[in-house]
A and B are shown apart, each in its own frame.
Chain A
């Protein structure tokens, strides 16, 4: 009789245990948790990346209309993304930042985020991605055949060249010129 009781109680306990384990394991990490008042969490207005039927392609985020000009200190870059544009920039384009505005410390930080991964933090074309043979054919800034200048660096940074993409959306105009100045410094260091 006693044994029967024991068996029954242990059965009950294990049932409770199974229930608890089941509850815990039901917490899925692939879906969001419950929220108390979702309307306080979720914006009434459109959010940047959300879906929306307001536009044809179903996106809320749209490219600015052609010819729009951002607020603030903005100068359009009028040299075209062509070989002639490149040659023109290489020969004529100069850095609008004067020697007091050029800040190598700022340029270095930006350079090491965006450029150093391929071009190497010294500009010798041996960044980590090149060493790991993920991206190949990155030239040193001191490459004679290319003979880069202020203008050609900016043009390449703005539009990209060959395999390199454009960095115009990651760096604003002032930051781009800081990076150009820093690249020129690296080039001078390499040529020493």
Chain B
């Protein structure tokens, strides 16, 4: 009871003073109110501040704990109530555990040892810096009821469907209207002809002039000019067609797992080289192995509701795609099962076997942005080939791009000599030998 009064004083919202100065007649009522307030404020004081608790939880606990799912450590929803009901452990025990779990384990506490062994003997980080208030805030956050699962409701999709149907309806109606108009025209023409017949009017106004195509065929000069024109035009188109054979610009295959570069590289701003790490140091940029995905997706098994809604626009369920990743890598939500399946990614950028291209030479040495060749990847929901990857395209860039020689001792001497030879300030890649056949074909 004493504790309750203390907490009452702590609470700024109480109006105990008012109650005390009330008239004697209402003493009993006021006593009742005092009692009521006491209990209610006690509850609030114990609960702490769930908002502050959330930020504390996110910065301290969320690395290993989720509210509703076991991760490195157990799920923490209603942890205080559960411990009190099932193990008879109070707030004091919890605080001791949070501040220094290993000393509890060493002291031989039964439940502490049980939970330690249950989670593979991974010791929980000590949090000596958390105050009583911090802990009660965090516990208040964990005691908050679970949010109702976000139901992807039908009505959201329906208006779109209705829109589609009504669009089709409008189109159909228009088509019908045109058909009717055409029919009406034909009918009108026929009736007019019939009237003309009946009145004996000769409608036929036969033109005795030479038909235009005969006149054209007789004019040999015109025929010559036109045939030359047609030859040139068809030559142009044939050349265009033949030149694009083997060029896969715009190639956009459907991948086995829908991976959105827009979300990862765009919205979340993850560096390209985080996943394509070998682009820094080797010839190929590499398809990231699935353990790189799992660096983040171990803890991200579902996307945010707004991201999920975005996915609907593209006809993709991102959660299902993450599940595909889990199936491929053999992750059951808490541990690897060892049943991995390779993902059959479809290669997009493929240079012919007779051309040599080295990523590290361009990315690390040249300092060229990935987007220079791969286009606005951070905006691509589905990855496609941005550049033609033809020889002409390579050569063009080598002719236009200056070599970054600043602060690079490797180039100092050769740059001096070559810039004297060419009489230029800045050397292009081409002048450094970037056009030599043997650089790429050998």
A interface residues (Cβ-Cβ under 8 A, vs B): 1-2, 5, 29-36, 40-43, 48-49, 51, 57-59, 83, 112-114, 117, 125, 128-129, 132-139, 144-146, 160, 162-167, 169-172
Q: How large is the interface on B (under 10, 10 to 19, 20 to 34, 35 or more residues)?
A: 35 or more
Indicate which residue in B64, B123, B128, B270 contacts A137 across the interface (CB closer than 8 Å).
Answer: B64
User: Quick check: A163 and B71 within 8 Å, CB to CB?
Assistant: yes
By DSSP majority rule, is chain A's interface helix, strand, loop, or mixed?
loop
What 8 pairs across the A-B complex have the smallest Cβ distances? A137-B63, A136-B62, A137-B62, A165-B295, A170-B277, A41-B352, A29-B252, A113-B271
User: Quick check: A59 and B246 within 8 Å, CB to CB?
Assistant: no
User: Quick check: B274 and A34 within 8 Å, CB to CB?
Assistant: no
* With A83-B122, A117-B270: A57-B300 Cβ-Cβ less than 8 Å: no
Whether B248 is near chain A, meaning CB under 8 Å from some CB there, is yes
Q: Could you name 24 residue pairs across A and B whose Cβ atoms are closer than 8 Å?
A: A1-B204, A1-B206, A1-B207, A31-B251, A32-B251, A33-B247, A33-B248, A40-B352, A48-B284, A49-B287, A113-B277, A114-B271, A128-B269, A129-B268, A136-B58, A137-B59, A145-B126, A145-B129, A162-B63, A165-B295, A165-B296, A166-B295, A169-B277, A169-B289
Q: Which residue of B lies closest to A114 (CB)?
A: B274
B interface residues (Cβ-Cβ under 8 A, vs A): 58-65, 71-72, 121-123, 125-129, 204, 206-207, 211, 244-248, 250-254, 267-271, 273-274, 277, 281, 284, 287, 289, 291-292, 294-296, 298-300, 304, 342, 344-345, 347, 350, 352-354, 384
User: Quick check: B63 and A145 within 8 Å, CB to CB?
Assistant: no
* With A41-B246, A42-B353, A138-B63: A33-B274 Cβ-Cβ less than 8 Å: no
Indicate which residue in A36, A138, A145 contacts B125 across the interface (CB closer than 8 Å).
Answer: A145
Q: Which residue of A lies closest to B289 (CB)?
A: A169
By DSSP majority rule, is chain B's interface helix, strand, loop, or mixed?
loop
* With A145-B126, A145-B128: A35-B296 Cβ-Cβ less than 8 Å: no
* With A40-B353, A114-B274: A34-B268 Cβ-Cβ less than 8 Å: no
Q: Which residue of A lies closest to B65 (CB)?
A: A137
CA distance A43 to B271 in the complex (A): 31
Indicate which residue in B72, B244, B354 contacts A33 across the interface (CB closer than 8 Å).
Answer: B244
CA distance A145 to B296 in the complex (A): 24
User: Quick check: A125 and B72 within 8 Å, CB to CB?
Assistant: no
* With A117-B269, A134-B268, A163-B72: A169-B291 Cβ-Cβ less than 8 Å: yes
